[in-house]
Amino acid sequence: MRFMNLDRQYDLIKDEVLAQLEVVLNHGQYIMGPEVITLEQQLSEFADAKHCVGVSSGTDALLIAMMALGIGPGDEVITTPFSFIATSETIVLLGAKPVYADIDDRTFNIDPAAIEGLITAKTKAIIPVSLFGQCSDMDAINAFAQQHGIAVIEDAAQSFGATYKNRKSCAVSAIATTSFYPSKPLGGYGDSGACFTDDEALAEKMRTIRVHGQTAQYQHTLVGVNGRLDSMQAAILLSKLARFKEDLANRQRLGDRYTSAFKAAGFEHTPFIEPHNTSAYAQYTVKVDQRAEVIARLREKNVPAMIFYPTPLHQQPAVADPDANCPISEAMSKQVMSLPICAFMTDEEQEEVIDAFIESIN
């Protein structure tokens, strides 16, 4: 068994994707072509955000969002240590300091109560990560940010399609960033990402930064990056977006099915989804004791499992903060494991995983 079966989706959309790629190859606008404009329109409609800026990756989306806010040396950005490296790597790349707030041990997301004591005069933004597909407590985070006059950037790389209190992930903070890396809920066939905002001025700034800070041909008013989106990637994503609601519903069905089967077998440490949230189930992550043994037993039964993430960011040499006080993140990084989930998993495959997991923990 494999952790994901993205090739099965390709079998379903092959004719359409190849036809759209052929259109791009013929019109010749290989970068930022008409497909990019159409994709941005459809993504902003889907996410209920006024503006969408298509970019080259989820990492560049974070970088561009922070550059648009003017974050740089001497600034502090509060974020979670329980995430992928890109979240804090981009903060460090801009010369700012990631300040790590510990997480909630049920949702694995940043704990608003832990943010409060970390705010200083240097704090410029808070970056909550909607980890494994579920938003953080955005109302509490936004209220707190507003009170202190700082920005909130939702790192929604894993939560495109999720909802928070009936609002869409990517539209629950001043800026949001997402990724279309192949294994994300909405994934392309290569690297790409997007920034979202309702703020016209910020959107314009992000569009400018995306193309080397250029406002007219060879006029550079800002320092930018090469953060452009390829037309071919946009064409692929348009085909995927057309089927995304169905894929998302299937992920959610599989997630719920895992949870009821595990609960029925007496296993309680299934993902906790807040009643006001729906998860995009980027990962199906459980907590176990003796994780190494459980994973080894699963492997014997040909069931792959992954660990997201084995080391919290405050302990990663590149972005470390020895002063961070994040015991819950440290404990969770020793207990979590993710089981195969993907919109193209069959019910039979899932039953195999369910049986193997229940046998492996007992």
Ligand X SMILES: *Cc1c(COP(=O)(O)O)cnc(C)c1O
Nearest-angstrom CA–CA distance, 38 and 15: 20
Residue 299 tokens read as 């492997």
Angle, vertex CA 52, rays to CA 43 and CA 15, nearest 5: 35
Nearest-angstrom CA–CA distance, 217 and 4: 43
CA dihedral 248, 253, 259, 260 (to 10 degrees): 170
Q: Which stretch binds ligand X (CB under 6 A): 69-77, 84-92, 142-150, 222-230?
A: 84-92
Taking CB under 6 A as the criterion, the residue among 9, 79, 80, 83 binding ligand X is: 83
Considering the rule CB under 6 A, would residue 35 count as an interface residue with ligand X? no
Q: Residue 235's closest CA among 33, 8, 49? A: 33
Considering the rule CB under 6 A, would residue 59 count as an interface residue with ligand X? yes
Q: Which stretch binds ligand X (CB under 6 A): 41-49, 57-65, 217-225, 247-255?
A: 57-65
Residues 107-136 that bind ligand X (CB under 6 A): 129
Which residue, 134 or 360, has its beta carbon nearer to ligand X? 134
Which residue, 86 or 103, has its beta carbon nearer to ligand X? 86
Which residue, 193 or 255, has its beta carbon nearer to ligand X? 193
Residue 153 Cβ vs ligand X, minimum distance, rounded to whole Å: 11
Considering the rule CB under 6 A, would residue 99 count as an interface residue with ligand X? no
Considering the rule CB under 6 A, would residue 84 count as an interface residue with ligand X? yes
Considering the rule CB under 6 A, would residue 158 count as an interface residue with ligand X? yes
Strand order in the sheet with 123-127: 51-55, 193-197, 175-179, 151-155, 123-127, 76-79, 97-100
Q: Are 100 and 94 in contact (CB under 8 A)?
A: no
| 281 CB neighbour count, 10 Å cutoff | 29
Residues 260-289 that bind ligand X (CB under 6 A): none
Considering the rule CB under 6 A, would residue 338 count as an interface residue with ligand X? no
Q: Which residues bind ligand X (CB under 6 A)?
A: 57-59, 83-84, 86-87, 129, 155, 157-158, 179, 181, 191, 193
